[in-house]
Amino acid sequence: TIAGRYCFSPAQLWCTIDNRVTRVAWLNRSTILYAGNDKWCLDPRVVLLSNTQTQYSIEIQNVDVYDEGPYTCSVQTDNHPKTSRVHLIVQVSPKIVEISSDISINEGNNISLTCIATGRPEPTVTWRHISPKAVGFVSEDEYLEIQGITREQSGDYECSASNDVAAPVVRRVKVTVNYPPYISEAKGTGVPVGQKGTLQCEASAVPSAEFQWYKDDKRLIEGKKGVKVENRPFLSKLIFFNVSEHDYGNYTCVASNKLGHTNASIMLFELNEPTSSTLLQEVKTTALTPWKGPGAVSEVSNGTSRRAGCIWLLPLLVLHLLLKF
């Protein structure tokens, strides 16, 4: 009986023999590896494991794919020689030997990603987009082609190679999609005189946008007295520490990068801050001014309308007194 196995390293081959066997040897194709206890090959990786009355076995250490193939156990008995053959299949875990580098590309262009893997059996290669919006695999091939790439398709792409021999091998490629700025939020604001005011401008872009502020076609320079510009990668703030009448008006936020630019108008307007005396005056005015609806008589200089107003109010006063008593 002869046996072998699928293996990485080492590989063990053995013959089951009995007391009728007088001579025994292991061969690889036509090359003698061992004859009895004598080693015939020069490969140091091949060693004798056992030579007993019941078993004759050898071991091949650090197995290589070139070791795959037929091995023969040849035995000699008193009657005649006998041979048994086993085919050694060498399995190799997957290995990614070539993969695309990280790439930066403008929106709308085409890209091609490559992931080459080796192994035995031949590994299966898949591509997956690492994104919360991505679902499943985007390619079950060594090559991933994307036509007219969009900004939503930016991010990491994961190549996985597997052949069930060992755990899958995973590598990632980062894809950066460049696109011109677009302003996502720009709202005007009202501020009373003497108070602090802030105009905000938010813009999305890759590479990040650079911001500039204008008023009446005149660019606002950082460091202007009473005004400060704070820029972040996707947000710019125009801060007024003490708003004056001169500050009110229309401002333009410009966001730009190497692919283009965009702008938005933002209004800083005066917001009247109500006071207690103003509120009291409004209450008094409301109480003393008669309602002027459709058909009401407008006021004239001879006092006729005032007399008409009094006559009109008299029935209401009488009704009020009756209800009270």
Task: Give the span between the Cα atoms of 316 and 214, in whole angstroms.
Answer: 60
CA atoms within 13 A on the CB side of 223: 1
Q: What is the pLDDT of residue 225?
A: 79
Using one digit for the tens of pLDDT, what is the confidence trace for 26-48?
999 889 999 999 999 999 999 99
Domains of the chain by residue range: 5-90, 94-179, 188-270
Taking alpha carbons only, the member of 152, 170, 153 closest to residue 162 is 170
DSSP 66-111: GG-EEEEEEEEESS-EEEEEEEE-B-EEEEEEEEPPPEEEETT--E
Q: How confident is the model at residue 77 (pLDDT cuts 50, 70, 90)?
A: confident
Mean of pLDDT over the chain: 83
Residue 240 — very low, low, confident or very high, per pLDDT cuts 50/70/90? very high
pLDDT tier at 274, thresholds 50, 70, 90: low
pLDDT at 213: 95
Domain 188-270: CATH superfamily is Immunoglobulins (2.60.40.10)
Strands 31-35 and 21-28: what pairing? antiparallel
Question: Which pLDDT does position 97 carry in this prediction?
Answer: 97
Contact 266, 253 (CB under 8 A): yes
- Kindly indicate the confidence band of residue 8, based on its pLDDT and cuts at 50, 70 and 90: low
Average of pLDDT values for 238-245? 93
Q: 119 and 136 in contact (C-beta within 8 Å)? A: no
| pLDDT above 90 for 321 | no
Would you say the CATH fold of 94-179 matches that of 5-90?
A: yes
Q: Which CATH superfamily is domain 5-90 in?
A: Immunoglobulins (2.60.40.10)
- pLDDT tens profile 185-236: 998 899 999 999 999 999 999 999 999 999 988 998 876 778 999 999 899 9
CATH superfamily, domain 94-179, is Immunoglobulins (2.60.40.10)
